[in-house]
Structure 1
Amino acid sequence: MTRSTVSRLVDELIRAGIVAEHDPRGAGGPGRPAVPLTPAGGTIVGLGLQVNVDYMAGRVMDLTGAIVAEEHVAGDFESSDPAAVLSAAGDLTRDLVGRATASGARVARACLGLPGLVDTGNRRLLLAPNLGWHELTPADLMGPRLLPPGVELLVDNDANLAAYGVAHEAPGRVADSSTFLYVAGDIGVGAGIVVDGRVVRGQHGWAGEIGHVSIEPTGPQCHCGARGCLERYAGKHAVLEAAALPTSATPADLAAAAASGYGAPRVAVERAAWALGIALAGTVNVIDVGEIVLGAAFIPLVDLLRPGIEEQLRVRTLAGPWSSTTLRVAPADAAPAATGGAMRALEWVAREPAAWIDAVARTSA
């Protein structure tokens, strides 16, 4: 491209609020001084939303990765009424949108993460066993005037969104380590497969349901209807029950109890590590990934889980003698799917700025 074409395109991006121009550098030296350009802050934002079994959350992020507004609401949504819960999520959404627009920002998209099977094309939740929800369209239950005109609500699996967030340093900027298996421990156990910063979804978009891999075919009954699923050994409630701790205890409470001596909490965590190691080794054998990232409720327990997981990976991974699997921890985040959802909501602005500019022009006309 010619210099004039580049200048014209940059001017368009500046006018659209996608990039910001800074003071020239190198003034006084030979040639024209360089004008630094960076993603614009506070102009265009993405809204990430998350409904989990024990909380709902929302996070508004701008193109620099800065948080413009956020909210985290504790709750008990196990086997809940989806109309009531999603109506509350709609109120949270409208509040966050209002706070963002009051600051002068324009909302690009919103993305809702749910713990279950999601038909992303039709933006429908098919099944969320721990919530007790099935076959619903979240936008229909979140109420009217949810988002500004022309702004879409995407729906995705929460582990996929969390994995997307871990794979990116900021909207549109892939992290150095961007190929891995992300595994989130909560009431359920979910996973996201990431290759070069992109989430691998499978034919129907349902890849990553590691929580329903069978550890013992005759094991305890799972909410999904099957027996012996991983989440009945490594899900937060399952581990707390085995540890003889109340389900209100935090993962940090469990870690402290397990580290204090060899009693029920330590046995429960070691059992979870054994089950996780079996499921993860089988997954590594199938998808050939060299890095596993543990997130959500697993973060405080990583040091206690690591020996049991790595032992199972060592003895059960066929390629173990030739290739090791690295186990690392995700950044601490109270609502990782909300973070990933906000980044994904901004993805099309970062990847296709011309399409974004055209869409804004049509909406404003």
Structure 2
Amino acid sequence: MSYQPPGVVPARHNERIGRSDERRRIQVAAPLPNTQQAMRRRNLSLVLHAVAAHGPLSRASVAARVGLTRAAVSTLVDELIRDGLLVELGPSRPGTVGRPGSALQLNEHGPAGLGAEIGVDHLAVCAVDLAGRVRARTEAASANRDCAPAPVLTQLSALVRQVAAEAELGGLRPVGLAVAVPGLVARGSSLVVRAPNLGWEGVDIGPELRAALPGLPVTVDNEANLGALAELWRGGHDPAPQDFMHVSAEIGIGAAVVLDGQLLRGTHGFAGELGHVPVRPEGPECACGGRGCLEQYAGEEAVLRASGLSPEEAAAEHPGPGGRIAVLAVRAAIGDQPTRRALRDAGAALGIALAGAVNLLDPEKVVLGGALTPLAPWLLPALERELGRRVADPARPGSGAVTVSRLGPDGPLLGAANSVVQAVLDDPAGFRDPAGAGEPPGIRGSDA
């Protein structure tokens, strides 16, 4: 058994072992060394996660959920209140036997996560509070394809400053920015290795954003990864699936895999490139250098062409972000046969590509998200039919094997903002209220 510092010894050890599902939801994402200081930080996270998942809660209820003594929880709660992460409400559960405790909830005026998305035809930024509620948001049409990174990042920085100012007016403290991009991002860096639909290659977007937003930590990730994390954290599933594949699209098609509640990144951070899985090896050449890739059959531009529309015609018919997908959805809804046939063929291609991944990984769910969600009614029948034909497990039916995300096209943006919030929940000792602690806002480099 690992060493526990005095005052924070878990109570009812056997009871904690029986709470496997609870512990999977209330845990620190990254392990820390077993020092007394590290154990304190882990316990702070346990308490904050418990309130985030189930609050408002009394201190006694928190202690029962996380398996720590009431005295230990009270000490930890006092620290979280002092650091501006929790607030204490009035007495909880009035009318019950005994003296009612004060209910705890996340501070609505505490740290905020900023999320940004660089799309092919738009830029979007939002701010979320500790509960994941969107408190400020803006979006701008922007023709980013084959545009140099500098003007795109300049415009994005202006939008981030605008949203950060709105969040601060609402009493929030932005503590970090995460950016979703439609391309490969080198693991643990802000380097966009390749974003073919933007025309970017080897572009490190972190330095320019950090220079424009001094003092604000910046992280960058693939849009499909962040969409999957949004599904895990804010997808509205009860219970949240711990093993699933998330498939999303803009012009290209991306996927991400979550296993045991953790994102599968791969050695270089490039896991999930479903769009470049060949579904017809003799098919047309793809921008990646391969042939017959999924994107050549189920990507947005491929579906538009198969429907008898050019991307330019579709954009003119329905201007603005997401307009070309909207054109397809409208035409399919009114019974346009070329569009329905194109979507049926795209669904079949998706099913072929996904069948291999499902056979390999055996996920609990496949979630269709991002820009694909408005097209789900016409994609799903053929997609599920191919899964039913090709998945090796006879107990896994094709029908109902795929869930449509409730987050829709906002998934990557929400995942970006909530990744900042999760960093706070996972290590609250790294964040504190400067008004209460006399320190600048943001991420601290050392313990208090």
TM-score (norm 1): 0.91
CA contact (8 A) 1:190 1:208 kept: yes
2:225 to 137, 151, 160: 160
CA contact (8 A) 1:77 1:85 kept: yes
Report deviation, 1:297: 2.0
Q: Distance in 1 between matches of 2:383 and 2:285?
A: 23
1:11 to 67, 72, 78: 78
Q: Distance in 1 between matches of 2:70 and 2:425?
A: 22
Secondary structure of the structure 2 residue equivalent to 1:207: coil
2:197 to 130, 134, 159: 130
Asked if 1:303 corresponds to 2:368, the answer is no
Query: What code does the residue aligned with 2:124 have?
Result: A
| Residue of structure 2 in register with 1:323 after alignment | 396
Report deviation, 1:8: 2.1
CA contact (8 A) 2:84 2:433 kept: no
Q: Show CA shifts across 1:105-156 (max 9, x none).
A: 2122110011111013122110001100011111233373414x2x310110
Query: What code does the residue aligned with 1:142 have?
Result: L
Aligned residues: 361
CA contact (8 A) 1:41 1:66 kept: no
Secondary structure of the structure 2 residue equivalent to 1:191: strand
Q: Show CA shifts across 1:321-359 (max 9, x none).
A: 122352111114443211001110111211111233499
1:94 to 149, 161, 176: 161
CA contact (8 A) 2:253 2:274 kept: yes
CA contact (8 A) 1:175 1:197 kept: no
Query: What code does the residue aligned with 2:397 have?
Result: S
CA contact (8 A) 1:43 1:106 kept: yes
Asked if 1:257 corresponds to 2:342, the answer is no
Distance 1:33 1:13, change over 3 A: same
| Residue of structure 1 in register with 2:413 after alignment | 338
Q: Distance in 2 between matches of 1:358 and 1:69?
A: 20
CA contact (8 A) 2:194 2:201 kept: yes
Report deviation, 1:242: 1.3
Asked if 1:230 corresponds to 2:297, the answer is no
Q: Distance in 1 between matches of 2:383 and 2:359?
A: 15
CA contact (8 A) 1:159 1:337 kept: yes
Asked if 1:216 corresponds to 2:283, the answer is no
Q: Unmatched 5+ residue regions in structure 1?
A: none
Asked if 1:353 corresponds to 2:420, the answer is no
CA contact (8 A) 2:189 2:219 kept: no
Larger Rg: 2
Query: What code does the residue aligned with 2:156 have?
Result: A
| Residue of structure 2 in register with 1:113 after alignment | 180
CA contact (8 A) 1:120 1:154 kept: no
Q: Show CA shifts across 1:282-338 (max 9, x none).
A: 11111111311111221122121111111111111112x122352111114443211
Percent identical residues: 37
Secondary structure of the structure 2 residue equivalent to 1:222: coil
Secondary structure of the structure 2 residue equivalent to 1:23: strand
Report deviation, 1:272: 0.5
CA RMSD of aligned residues (A): 2.5
Q: Unmatched 5+ residue regions in structure 2?
A: 1-7, 9-68, 319-323
Secondary structure of the structure 1 residue equivalent to 2:359: helix
CA contact (8 A) 1:23 1:35 kept: yes
| Residue of structure 2 in register with 1:139 after alignment | 206
Distance 1:26 1:312, change over 3 A: closer
Between Structure 1 and Structure 2, the one with more strand by share is: 1
Secondary structure of the structure 1 residue equivalent to 2:412: helix
Distance 1:356 1:318, change over 3 A: same
Secondary structure of the structure 2 residue equivalent to 1:247: helix
Secondary structure of the structure 2 residue equivalent to 1:318: coil
Report deviation, 1:95: 1.6
Distance 1:281 1:12, change over 3 A: same
Asked if 1:20 corresponds to 2:95, the answer is no
CA contact (8 A) 2:245 2:365 kept: yes
Q: Distance in 2 between matches of 1:344 and 1:264?
A: 40
Q: Distance in 1 between matches of 2:171 and 2:239?
A: 29
Secondary structure of the structure 1 residue equivalent to 2:254: strand
Q: Distance in 2 between matches of 1:118 and 1:338?
A: 16
TM-score (norm 2): 0.75
Report deviation, 1:28: 6.1
Report deviation, 1:47: 0.5
Q: Distance in 2 between matches of 1:285 and 1:61?
A: 37
